[in-house]
Amino acid sequence: MLRRIGTAGLLTLALTACAGSGGSAGATPTGGGKAAPPAQTTAPETATPQSPPQAQGGTVGRALSKMSVQEKVGQLFMPVLYGTAADTVSGENQARYGAGTPAKVIAKYHLGGVILFPHNIKGVGQVVGLTTGLQKSSREVPLLIGTDQENGLVARMSALMTDFPGAAEIGATKDPDLARAVAKATGDELRALGVNLDFAPVADVNVNPDNPVIGRRAYGDDPARVAKMVAAAVKGFGASKVAATAKHFPGHGDTDVDSHTGLPVIKHTKAQWERIDAPPFKAAIGAGVDAVMSAHIVFPKLDPSRDPATLSKPILTGLLRQKLGFKGVISTDALNMEGVRKKYDDGEIAVRAVLAGADLLLMPNDLQKAYQAVLAAVKSGRISQQRLDQSVTRLLTLKQKRGFLAKAPVADADEAARVLRSAEHRKLAARAAG
List average pLDDT for each run of 10 residues in the chain, which is 434 residues long.
35 36 30 36 34 63 96 98 97 96 98 98 98 96 98 96 97 97 98 98 94 91 98 98 98 81 88 97 98 96 95 98 98 93 94 98 97 98 98 98 93 97 98 91
Q: pTM above the 0.85 mark?
A: yes
In a domain, 388, yes or no: yes
CA pseudo-torsion sign 116, 122, 128, 130: negative
Among 307, 333, 345, 389, the one annotated catalytic: 333
In a domain, 144, yes or no: yes
Per-residue pLDDT at 31: 33
Q: Is residue 333 annotated as part of the catalytic site, yes or no?
A: yes
In a domain, 15, yes or no: no
In a domain, 173, yes or no: yes
CA distance 284 to 292: 9
In a domain, 7, yes or no: no
In a domain, 33, yes or no: no
Q: Is residue 260 annotated as part of the catalytic site, yes or no?
A: yes
In a domain, 103, yes or no: yes
For the chain, what is the domain count? 1
Domain containing 99 equals: 51-432
Residue 310: which of 282, 288, 343 has the closest Cα? 343
| CATH number for the domain that contains residue 382 | 3.20.20.300
Per-residue pLDDT at 281: 98
Per-residue pLDDT at 261: 67
Per-residue pLDDT at 212: 80
Among 260, 268, 296, 425, the one annotated catalytic: 260
In a domain, 244, yes or no: yes
Upper half-sphere CA count for residue 281 (Cβ side, 13 Å): 31
